[in-house]
Amino acid sequence: GLKDPKRPGGSFIFAGPSGVGKTWLSKTLAEFLFGDEDALIQLDMSEY
């Protein structure tokens, strides 16, 4: 099939200035798509 259980269910990149809703959007999508708003990996790219 097309869905390999060893691969991620989704991969998204949200870019933009702070305060525009990127974190809110990612948690909302995780809740909608995977049933849990913590079903995501968040990277703080301000460190790079």
Residue 44 lies in a domain: yes
3: left (phi over 0), alpha (psi -120 to 50) or beta: beta
For 9-38, b where at least 16 C-beta lie within 10 A, e where not — what string?
A: eeeeeeeeeeeeebeeebbebbeeeeeeee
Portion of the chain with pLDDT greater than 90, in percent: 27
Residue 25 lies in a domain: yes
Give the confidence band of 37 by pLDDT, cuts at 50, 70, 90. Answer: confident
Contact 14, 26 (CB under 8 A): yes
Residue 11 lies in a domain: no
Please tell me whether residue 46 adopts helix, strand or coil conformation: helix
Give the confidence band of 48 by pLDDT, cuts at 50, 70, 90. Answer: confident
pTM above 0.95, yes or no: no
Q: Where in the sequence is the domain holding 30, given as residue range(s)?
A: 21-48
Digit-coded pLDDT (tens) for 7-25: 877 788 888 998 999 999 9
pLDDT score recorded for residue 1: 53
Residue 4 lies in a domain: no
Residue 34 lies in a domain: yes
